[in-house]
Amino acid sequence: MNENPMLPYLGKLVEVRDLAADIKLFRVEMLNDGGEAFRTFQPGQFAFVSAFGLGEAPFGIANASGRGSAVDFAVARIGSVTTGLHELGEGDIVGVRGPLGNWFPMKKFKGKNLIVLGGGIGGAPLRPVIQHVLDHRSDYGTLTILWAARHPSLLVFTDEYAEWRAAPDTDLHLTVDSPDEKWDHNVGLITQLLEKMSPSPENTVTITCGPPIMIHFVTKMLQEKMGFAPKNNYVTLEARMHCGMGKCGRCNLGEKLVCVDGPVFNMEEVGGLLETFL
Amino acid sequence: MSKSNSARKRWLISQAELEIWLDGLAQARTLIAPRQVSGIMLYRPVAKSNEIAWHGQTPRSAHAGRPVLSVKEIFFPPTERLFTIQKTGQEIRLEETFPDWETVVFGVRPCDARGVKLLDALFLDTNPVDSFYARRRGNTTLIGLACQELGPTCFCTSVGGAPDNAHDMDIMLYETDGSYLAEAVTEKGRFLIPVCEWKETTASPQQSTYSGQFPVPEKGKWPEHFNDEYWLKISERCLSCRACAYVCPTCRCFAVRDEMLAPGQFERIRCWDACAGENYRRVAGGHQPRAEKGERLRNRFFCKFFYYPEQYGLGAASACTGCGRCIEVCPAGVDITEVLMDLEKQA
C-alpha cells in the first residue's frame, strides 16, 4: 500500500456502457500497483472512484473477483462526482482506492440456499454475489433473485438475466413499481413479490441491498412473516463516507463505522446498534 | 513512555533564560506559540519570543492563557492538501508533498496536549496510519505551560485532566514567581533542553489543588440515554452552526474534495467537517438518517463519551478534554457541562 492511503491507484476505463436510465457501468483495468491491489477482492467490498478534478465517491464493486482482471462499478448520475464520471469514456483515466470494507461471508454460505434481493442501483453490490455463486454453483443450494426497480428503465444488468436464468437451480423474479406497456413481469414493491413467494427460512440466508426504506421493510417481512432469524438476513449499508478507513468519522451508525465494521452486516448486528440506518 | 514524576529532571530558569532558549529554537525550527492575531489568540509561528502572547488577555477569549483554537490545527490543519492532480489530455499525474519540517509548539495547555493524545488513538494507533498526521506528530515537540488557574468555562478536572498535568507533553513548564520550573517529560523533550546552560534543581512543582468539579456519566451509562427526549429539547437551542466542532481539540471529522488550482491543475484536499451539519450524513438517494437537529447534537455528545472511546480503545476515558471552548463559542448557549450534569441527574 502507498504511504498515503488517501492516494488512489490509477485505472483505465476499458468499457463504459449504459446499464439503465442515468446508470452506467464502468469497467476499470487497474494500472501499475493497482493491479496487485485489486488482484482479488470479495463480494460486498467497495472502493472509492475518482473523477479527477471533481472528487471521489464510494461505490460497491460490481463484479466478482476472478472474472477477468477488470473491476466493475455501476454508477448512477446523482451528484457532481458521478456526473463527472458519466462524462468519461473508454481510455480515460480514473482513480480507484480500495478494495475496502468487509464482505459477504460466501464461505459460510456454502451449502445454503440464497435469496438475493436488489432494489435499483442497490443491485450493483449484489452482482458479485450472483456471479460468485454462478462461478461456484455446486457449492451453494438454490439461488433466488428478486430484482426490483421503480420503472423498467431503471433495472440494472438486464443483459445478464439470460445467464442468471440459465444457471442450474437459479430463479430470477422481476418487479417494478410502475410498468411500461411492454412489461410482462410482476408489478409492485419488492415486499409484495416477497410476500407472494413466501420463502422458507430453512437452511436459507438472504442478502439485501437497496434504498434504506426497502431494506427495512424487506428484512422486517422476512423476520415477522416468514420466520427468518435476523442473523440470516444480510444487508449491505450505504453511508456517504469520505475516507473508507475509519478516520473521517462520517459513516458512523452509533458506535459502528459502516466503512470498517461494514458495509456488510446481518440484521442481528444492525439490531444491536444504538442508531438505525433508516 | 514518559518517566514517572519523581524521576524526571528539572531545571529552574528565569524569564530571560526562557526567552533566549525560545529564540534559539525559533532559528533552527518552526516555533509555534500563542500569538495575538486580529484581536484573538491563536497558535501561530513566531520568529522571536517577543511575539508570544504570554498571558494573552484578550476581549474575545474568556480564558486568559488559552488560544481560541486548540493545537489540533498544527497536526490536523483545517484544510490539508493530500496530493495534486495534473490533467494533460487523457493523462493524469498525481503528486504528493508531505509536511517534513521540524516544529516546536510552546505554551501548550494540558487540555490541548490531552486532545492530541486522543487524536493519536485514531490517526496513529489505528491502521492505516494517517501519513500526514504521523509526520507532523513525529516532527513536533510539545512544550507545555501549566495553567495557573481554571478559566470560567474550564472543566478539565471533571474529565480526568488537571491544569498542571504534564503527562501528554514533551517538556512541561510551571510558572513560579516570575521564573519557571522546566521538566523533561520525554526523551524527545530532553533533547531540546540546554543542559549545560540551565541550572538543574531538585525542586518539585507545586501540585494543583483543583479537584473534580462534577461527576460525568460513565461510558457504560450512555446507551440508556440514547432515546431520551432530552436531546430534542436541548437541541431546540442549537443552530447547527458547528462552531463547537471547529474549536474542539478532538473533533476530527473531515470531508474530502477536489479544488481547481489552474486549468488542468487540481488538488485533493481534506477539510474539517462536523456532524451537526444538516447534509453531513445524507446519502446518495437523498435519504437523511439524522434529519433532526436533536439526533445530530446527540451524535456529538455520544461521539465524545461513547462512540469514539469505543471505536478507538480509550477504555473508560472520554474524548472530551474539558477545555470549555465549545461553551465559549456556542452562540445559543448549549453548554456541555450542563448536558453532562443533566444526564447524571437523570441516571
A276 pLDDT band, cuts 50/70/90, is: confident
Residues of A in Cβ contact (< 8 Å) with B130? 5, 247
Q: Which residue of B has its CA nearest to A213?
A: B287
Question: For residue A24, is it within any domain?
Answer: yes
Question: For residue A143, is it within any domain?
Answer: yes
Boundary (domain end) residue, out of A66, A100, A134 = A100
CATH number, domain containing residue A57:
2.40.30.10
* Per-residue model confidence (pLDDT) at position B213: 82
Beta-carbon pairs below 8 A across chains A and B:
123
More confident call, A154 vs A68: A154
B339: which 3 cell numbers? 448536558
Question: For residue A141, is it within any domain?
Answer: yes
User: Averaged over A28-37, what is the pLDDT?
Assistant: 94
User: Are both A49 and A154 inside the same structural domain?
Assistant: no
* Per-residue model confidence (pLDDT) at position B99: 85
* Per-residue model confidence (pLDDT) at position B190: 95
Return the DSSP state at B128. S
Integer CA distances (angstroms), B39 to A134, B32, B53, B67, B77, in order: 68, 18, 11, 11, 21
Helix (H, G, I), strand (E, B) or coil at B95: strand
Residues of B in Cβ contact (< 8 Å) with A91? 90
* Per-residue model confidence (pLDDT) at position B61: 43
Q: Does the beta-carbon distance from B256 to A248 stay under 8 Å?
A: yes
More confident call, B42 vs A2: B42
Look at residue B284 and tell me whether its pLDDT is greater than 50. Answer: yes
Say which of A1, A79, A238 has its CB closest to residue B128. A1
B63 pLDDT band, cuts 50/70/90, is: low
User: Are both A181 and A143 inside the same structural domain?
Assistant: yes
Query: Which of A250, A253, A258, A276 to substitute to test the interface with B, most B CBs within 10 Å?
Result: A250
Q: Which residue of A has its CA nearest to B305?
A: A255
How far B113 CA sits from the closest chain A CA (Å)? 20
Look at residue B2 and tell me whether its pLDDT is greater than 50. Answer: no
Polymer length in residues for chain A: 278
For the segment B124-183, what is each residue's pLDDT rounded down to a tens digit? Answer: 999 999 999 999 999 999 999 998 888 889 999 999 999 999 999 999 999 888 899 999
B278 pLDDT band, cuts 50/70/90, is: confident
How far A170 CA sits from the closest chain B CA (Å)? 30
Tell me which residue range forms the domain holding A149. 113-236
User: Averaged over A58-69, what is the pLDDT?
Assistant: 94
User: Are both A158 and A232 inside the same structural domain?
Assistant: yes
User: Are both A81 and A150 inside the same structural domain?
Assistant: no
Q: Does the beta-carbon distance from A240 to B85 stay under 8 Å?
A: no
**Calpha distance A22→A120 (Å, rounded):** 12
For the segment B187-243, what is each residue's pLDDT rounded down to a tens digit? Answer: 999 999 998 999 999 988 888 777 778 889 999 999 999 999 999 999 999 999 999
User: Are both A95 and A139 inside the same structural domain?
Assistant: no
**Calpha distance B126→A46 (Å, rounded):** 20
Residues of A in Cβ contact (< 8 Å) with B254? 242-243, 247-249
Look at residue A100 and tell me whether its pLDDT is greater than 70. Answer: yes
Residues B62-89 as b/e (b if ≥16 CB within 10 A, e otherwise) read ebbbbbbbbbbbbbbbeebbbbebeeee
Question: For residue A251, is it within any domain?
Answer: no
* Per-residue model confidence (pLDDT) at position B54: 74
* Per-residue model confidence (pLDDT) at position B66: 84
Question: For residue A148, is it within any domain?
Answer: yes
Look at residue B56 and tell me whether its pLDDT is greater than 60. Answer: no
Return the DSSP state at B193. S
CATH number, domain containing residue A222:
3.40.50.80
Boundary (domain end) residue, out of A68, A100, A132 = A100
Q: Which distant-in-sequence residues (6+ apart) come within 8 Å of B35 by Cβ?
A: B41, B42, B43, B44, B46, B51, B52, B53
Q: Does the beta-carbon distance from A56 to B280 stay under 8 Å?
A: no
User: Averaged over A208-231, what is the pLDDT?
Assistant: 97
A102: which 3 cell numbers? 468487509
User: Are both A91 and A146 inside the same structural domain?
Assistant: no
Axis-axis angle for helices B131-138, B110-123 (nearest 10)? 140
* Per-residue model confidence (pLDDT) at position A1: 52
- How many domains, chain A? 2
Residues of A in Cβ contact (< 8 Å) with B280? 250
Each domain of chain B, given as residue ranges in start order, spans 5-346
Residues A52-61 as b/e (b if ≥16 CB within 10 A, e otherwise) read bbbbbbbbbb
Q: Which residue of A has its CA nearest to B280?
A: A250
Residues of A in Cβ contact (< 8 Å) with B132? 4
User: Are both A71 and A125 inside the same structural domain?
Assistant: no
B347 pLDDT band, cuts 50/70/90, is: low
Give contacts of B 98-117 with A, CB under 8 A. Answer: 98
In chain A, % helix, strand, coil (3-state, to 5) comes to: 25, 30, 40
Axis-axis angle for helices A212-224, A190-197 (nearest 10)? 20
- Lowest-pLDDT choice from B164-173, B226-235, B282-291, B319-328: B282-291
User: Averaged over B12-28, what is the pLDDT?
Assistant: 94
Look at residue B75 and tell me whether its pLDDT is greater than 50. Answer: yes
Boundary (domain end) residue, out of A38, A72, A100 = A100
- Lowest-pLDDT choice from A227-241, B42-56, B294-308: B42-56
Residues of B in Cβ contact (< 8 Å) with A7? 82-83, 94, 96
Report the share of chain A in percent with pLDDT over 90.
94
User: Averaged over A192-201, what is the pLDDT?
Assistant: 97
Q: Does the beta-carbon distance from B92 to A93 stay under 8 Å?
A: yes
B59 pLDDT band, cuts 50/70/90, is: very low
Q: Is the Cβ of B226 closer than 8 Å to some Cβ of chain A?
A: yes
Question: For residue A247, is it within any domain?
Answer: no
B110: which 3 cell numbers? 494540558
Question: For residue A260, is it within any domain?
Answer: no
* Per-residue model confidence (pLDDT) at position B338: 95
- Lowest-pLDDT choice from A111-125, B162-176, B274-288: B274-288
Look at residue B103 and tell me whether its pLDDT is greater than 50. Answer: yes
Q: Is the Cβ of B257 closer than 8 Å to some Cβ of chain A?
A: yes
Integer CA distances (angstroms), B176 to B173, B205, B206, in order: 9, 8, 9
Report the share of chain B in percent with pLDDT over 70.
95
**Calpha distance B346→B226 (Å, rounded):** 12
The predicted complex's ipTM stands at: 0.93
Residues of B in Cβ contact (< 8 Å) with A239? 281, 283
User: Are both A61 and A168 inside the same structural domain?
Assistant: no
**Calpha distance B347→B338 (Å, rounded):** 14
- Lowest-pLDDT choice from A94-103, A135-144, A190-199, B286-295: B286-295
* Per-residue model confidence (pLDDT) at position B1: 42
User: Are both A67 and A152 inside the same structural domain?
Assistant: no
**Calpha distance A211→B34 (Å, rounded):** 49
Residue pair A258/A239 in contact by the 8 Å Cβ criterion = yes
For the segment A236-250, what is each residue's pLDDT rounded down to a tens digit? Answer: 998 889 999 999 999
Q: Which residue of A has its CA nearest to B275?
A: A250
Look at residue A31 and tell me whether its pLDDT is greater than 80. Answer: yes
Look at residue B55 and tell me whether its pLDDT is greater than 50. Answer: yes
User: Are both A118 and A95 inside the same structural domain?
Assistant: no
Residue pair B126/B88 in contact by the 8 Å Cβ criterion = no
* Per-residue model confidence (pLDDT) at position B273: 95
Question: For residue A46, is it within any domain?
Answer: yes
Polymer length in residues for chain B: 347
Look at residue B57 and tell me whether its pLDDT is greater than 80. Answer: no
Q: Which residue of B has its CA nearest to A245?
A: B128
For the segment B78-98, what is each residue's pLDDT rounded down to a tens digit? Answer: 999 999 999 998 899 999 988
**Calpha distance A75→A124 (Å, rounded):** 9
**Calpha distance B163→B56 (Å, rounded):** 17
- H helix runs in chain A, sequence order: 34-37, 80-86, 127-135, 161-166, 190-197, 212-224, 258-261, 267-271
* Per-residue model confidence (pLDDT) at position B64: 59
A235: which 3 cell numbers? 444487508
